[in-house]
Amino acid sequence: MAQGLRLVLFGPPGAGKGTQAQLLREHLNVAHISSGDLFRHHLGQGTELGLRAKEYMNKGELIPDEVTIDIILDKVMSIPNYDGFILDGFPRNPNQADVLEKKLSTESRNLDKVIHIDVSEPELLRRLGGRYICRACQSPHFIGSGEDASAKKCDQCGGELYQRDDDAPTAVKKRIEVYNTETTPVLGFYRERGVLVDISGDNPVDEVNKLVMAALGS
């Protein structure tokens, strides 16, 4: 039986990791593990891990590494060692990368590739500043500069569009700053291990996907 690829998708907020993960999941037939989706699942279901995370959130505190790691590893280690997966949104710092590597090395098998989608800051600000979400079905939409967002409706269901607080300009700059400070060092961790591939993410979605597939040898 052929082993499925085990990948991590890296990139700043607005790099298009989620979009590329969906395209890769369909092409490679592997699980897409989104840290955001997992957190929402555990919080929504009221699991033990979700309740642990909620304790910190209710106090307005950051969820500590050990809780985040437990939530992700709970999912990752449930996947048979011959199956592949795409990790999106994790690891976010060198400690998380180190724990993931040790767990995979001892109990399963390690990552095949880490894809870094590198996008310039002006392009990130343009993308995130124009990103709107449907209140009804949560589909993302892009509204260009000068367009009237209030006049637009969701292409999928006709629902109302809104902009998330963390996509407002000052919040976007802060998110990029946090990414550069906390997450960029993880790239060095994987570069040393010879599994990191840098992809230019300023291109359109289909062009980025071609670059990613080429990096994977497909």
From the candidates 6, 17, 75, 127, give the one annotated as an active-site residue.
17
135 a catalytic residue: no
Question: Do 190 and 196 touch, CB atoms closer than 8 A?
Answer: yes
Look at phi and psi of residue 156 and say left if phi exceeds 0, alpha if psi is from -120 to 50, else beta.
Answer: alpha
Q: Hey, what are 132's tokens? A: 């709107």
Q: Is 164 a catalytic residue?
A: yes
DSSP 59: T
**Tokens in use for 163?**
């902009």
Note if 127 is an active site residue: no
Of 109, 164, 174, 193, the active-site residue reads 164
Give the ranges where the chain is alpha helix by DSSP (H): 17-28, 35-45, 48-58, 65-76, 94-107, 121-129, 169-178, 184-192, 205-215
For the chain, the 3-state helix, strand and coil shares in percent, each to the nearest 5, are: 50, 15, 35
Structure tokens at 106: 């001892």
Q: Which residues 6+ apart lie within 8 Å of 27 measured at CB?
A: 213, 218
Catalytic residue among 103, 126, 152, 175: 175
The catalytic position among 131, 135, 191, 210 is: 131
Active site residues: 17, 92, 131, 164, 175
